[in-house]
Amino acid sequence: MSGFTDQVAVITGASSGVGKAIALRLASEGATVCLVGRNRERLEAVADSARATGPRVLTYQTDLAADESIRNLRASLEGDFESIDLLIHSAGVISLGQIESAQVEDFDRQYRVNVRGPYLLTQCLLPMLKARRGQIVFINSSVVLQAKANVSQYAATKHALKAVADSLRQEVNPYGLRVLSLFLGRTASAMQAAIHQLEERTYQPEFLLQPDDVATIIVNALSLPRTAEVTDIHIRPAIKPD
């Protein structure tokens, strides 16, 4: 066991990709992990893997686009735990399209899942995080650095998420909480496979960031002594070999 023994971690988007990798890594490091996602069957599959090494694993079926679902999650967590040590926002959705033709309804959904959901969930759980001088992680995107064609909606939500994290950090640092944003380049995942298909590009996951590598970076940052705070990490895939 490591320094995460007796810590409680809440991870959204835990049924696949980076969220799943983080959950499995934290469970192996001794944390109690709370898996949050929309698909219960996929959550339970991850939970089965995590229980092989973790002391305690719970699943919470939650729709981050629905305020009532988020508040129900808070009530469930308050019933199960007195406090929370880690809140990791890994859930997200993306829709591609030109501004001229993209559906505004797609923009609304991305805003609710990518911005409003993390905002409300953080607000709901802050008292439990303050009780443990906890840590909050926002999985963001390298699109914040440069918004290319066809990603205006998604990029706007990720810029907004960065603003939420930056402001939150200033508000909660005095209480001993740390806030970390990770800006990921293209990462091997089901979402990225779908994007490649839409872009009519060959999907080669071996040349993308690997979820396990991202999880390792996050766990290392969360493990730092409290004399240091990592605020922003930018990660991109290594250059393809010739």
Distance separating alpha carbons of residues 21 and 214, to the nearest angstrom: 8
Distance separating alpha carbons of residues 42 and 20, to the nearest angstrom: 10
Q: Where are the alpha helices (DSSP H) in 85-242?
A: 104-111, 117-130, 152-172, 190-198, 211-222
Distance separating alpha carbons of residues 75 and 161, to the nearest angstrom: 24
Quickly tell me which residue has 């303050």 as its tokens. 130
Catalytic site residue from 60, 111, 119, 154: 154
Region for 139 from its dihedrals, namely left if φ exceeds 0, alpha if ψ lies in -120 to 50, beta otherwise:
beta
Distance separating alpha carbons of residues 134 and 132, to the nearest angstrom: 5
If DSSP codes are grouped into helix, strand and coil, which group holds residue 138?
Answer: strand
Distance separating alpha carbons of residues 199 and 151, to the nearest angstrom: 12
Quick check: is 154 catalytic? yes
Distance separating alpha carbons of residues 146 and 60, to the nearest angstrom: 34
If DSSP codes are grouped into helix, strand and coil, which group holds residue 88?
Answer: strand
If DSSP codes are grouped into helix, strand and coil, which group holds residue 10?
Answer: strand
Residue 187, strand partner residues: 209
Q: Which residues are catalytic?
A: 154
